[in-house]
Copies of this chain bind each other. A is one copy, B any other.
Amino acid sequence: MSFSFASPNSEEFRPFITWQEITDWAKIHYRDRTFSKDERIPTRPGLLYLVRQGAVRLVGSVQTNSKQLEVVEKVFVGLVGTGQPFEVSAQSPFNLQSYAHVDRTLVIWLYWNELDRWTHLRREILEIFRYQQQRKLLWLSILGQKRTIDRLLGFLQLLMAEYGERRNCGYCLPYPLTHAQIASAIGATRVTVTRLLGKLRHQGVISVEEENLICWIGSDR
- Report chain B residues within 8 Å CB of A18: none
Most B CB atoms within 10 A — which of A134, A136, A157? A134
Q: Which of B76, B130, B141 contacts A94 (CB 8 A)?
A: B141
Contact B146 A73 (CB under 8 A): yes
Given contacts A144-B185, A187-B145, contact A134 B87 (CB under 8 A): yes
Count residues of A near B (Cβ-Cβ below 8 Å).
Answer: 63
Given contacts A4-B92, A91-B4, contact A77 B153 (CB under 8 A): no
18 of the cross-chain contacts (CB-CB < 8 Å) are: A3-B93, A4-B91, A58-B137, A60-B138, A60-B141, A64-B149, A87-B130, A93-B157, A95-B141, A123-B126, A129-B133, A130-B130, A133-B136, A139-B140, A140-B185, A144-B185, A144-B187, A151-B187
